[in-house]
Amino acid sequence: MVWFLRPEMLLQTILAVPSAVPPSIQASNGSFSNVTLSYGQYQGTNLPGNVTEFLGVRYANTPQRFSASGPPTPFTEVIQATQYGPGCQGSGSQLSPGNSEDCLFADIYTPTAAIQSDSTAKLPVFVFIQGGGLTDTLGRFNGTGLLSASNLSIITVTFTYRSGPFGFLASREVLANGTLNAGLLDQLQLLQWVKQEITHFGGDASRVTLGGQSAGAGCALNHLTANETMNSGLFQAAILQSTSSPPVRQVSEQQFQYDNLVNATQCSGQDTLACLRGLTTDQLLAGSFINPYPGNTGVPVFGWHIVVDGIYVNDSPLSSLANGKVSNVPIVIGSVTDEGTVFTPRNISNSVEATAFIKNNYPNVTQAQLDNYIQLYNFGLPSSNYWLKASSSYGETRYICPSIYISSYVPTWNYRYNISTADQIASLDGASHGSDLSAIWAPTYGSSDQIALLQGPANQTLQWIQGYWISFIQTYNPNINRILGSPDWPVWTASYRFVFNVTGSGTESVDQAQCSRCNYLGSIEPSLEQ
């Protein structure tokens, strides 16, 4: 498998066409605005800057454990959409305050005028899937900054979805009497909700960009390569940030996790699934800790996986790409420079521990393939810092090389985010996983030093990044409406991508050593199950 010779493909610019869906009549009393959806009415808050937020809007019914969600249940009262809904928790020994299994809620940020207008012209929509390693979805992404940067020309939708055992438990028992990939199907339900309801918020359901970061981007990639008959027309473009590419496993490979959960919760009996359904949330959480893969001694960084279900997910995303089974939509994709630093144990001190770390996360990698890892990442050479080598190998295996692989098969705009704070540099974390989120969701997301950097020395780059993202959401091309003076961002070709620095951003050639490593990782994709 060669990653850097992609088929000749032309990416056509898709013209934005106003929606022909009749508007719904909305109401506003100055401080609040109401929307009437097909199943009930919500009241949102009018914020300074002419943005209205609707928090905690149900996009699905109250889910049944280990089963697919469905449309929301109708109601008659006006619900105040002024507070976030409960978070979806998938880890920890007990349920944290503010979290619940009843957690399928969306947050919508829209220009106030878009709600109050009776115009048939609707705005493009950015649906963002948050990450969390399929373990928790608790983050809150405030869209006011992005709407302001867009001059109130887009709508953002963020949401929570089931994670951990509630969203990704897989076994023979779940296959027979439940729903595999329930958390992924929650996302599909959200996209179906957007298709039906976003017009009431002023959005155009035919102009949806599906975005995500980390596990959220990995989920978005699975939607791109899933059974297209189930998601046709639900999104027209995609933005994939630090696309997480853990193994997409067979149900039989995840049976051990189910069996461990049954044993930990003392649910062994004739109907173990019924027993698990009867546990309290705390009881289920207490037994759902991550275990090593069979034959391994160390636990993986993340233990919950999307599995091949034969209905929506028929193969791993990268195998699907190689076979041409992918939605034909424009894509922005990229990674940060130092993807692996925050995940790699700092106490790795030799080549044996470094290769064991890879094996613990990719259990089907063979010894011969691990020997090649030793050569590729110089694990066998004396080093004062094996941690850096291990973090480089993990970051490239899980995040960086898959983004390059994807760009080699379908037309994309590819980027590398290379902005790090003084503290990140001093700690050797560098431009670490998640750093680019503060640029997209500024100024309401990120650490104080990240925000200070983006509002100070890197402010021009911040404006450029948001300009590219907004242009892509509006036109499916990051260049058409980009910030005046920002460089043209070419489609990936011959291993050239865009790099975002504090200053001096522009096109760069991918390092040839990294190309060689990524080519090798592409050749062992069946073992990586990506």
Point out the residues that are catalytic. Answer: 214
List Cβ neighbours of 444 (8 Å cut-off, separation of 6 or more): 142, 144, 145
Q: Computed from CA positions of residues 226, 230, 232, 236, in that sequence, does the dihedral angle turn out positive or negative?
A: negative
Number of CB atoms found within 10 A of residue 516's CB: 11
Q: Which of 364, 293, 58, 314 is nearest to 184 (CA)?
A: 314
Helices (H), 172-311: 172-177, 182-197, 215-225, 251-264, 272-278, 281-286
Residue 366 to residues 253, 295, 344, 528, Cα–Cα distance (Å):
16, 12, 21, 10
From the number of C-beta atoms within 10 Å of its C-beta (0-12, 13-18, 19+), residue 426 rates as exposed
Amino acid (1-letter code) at residue 223: H
Q: Which helix (DSSP H) or strand (DSSP E) does residue 388 occupy?
A: helix 386-395
Phi, psi angles (nearest 5°) of residue 108: -120, 130
Residues 6+ apart with CB under 8 A from 377: 354, 389, 390, 392, 393, 517
Cβ of 315: how many Cβ atoms within 10 Å? 16
**Which residues have C-beta within 8 Å of that of residue 176, sequence separation ≥ 6?**
none
Q: What is the rounded CA–CA span in Å between residue 73 and residue 108?
A: 19
Cross-strand bridge partners of residue 412: 331
Distances (CA, A) of 165 to 30, 219, 262, 273, 530: 43, 16, 12, 12, 21
The partner residues of 128 in beta bridges, in order of sequence, read 158, 211
Distance CA 105, CA 110 (A): 16
DSSP 327-354: ----EEEEEETBTTTTTS-TT--SHHHH
Q: DSSP letter string over 186-218? A: HHHHHHHHHHHHGGGGTEEEEEEEEEEETHHHH
Which residues 6+ apart lie within 8 Å of 509 measured at CB? 495, 496
Contact 491, 498 (CB under 8 A): no
In angstroms, the Cα distances linking 318 to 61, 481, 525 are: 32, 31, 8
Half-sphere exposure of 85 (CA within 13 A, CB side): 26
Query: What backbone torsions phi and psi does residue 55 show, to the nearest 5 degrees?
Result: -110, 145
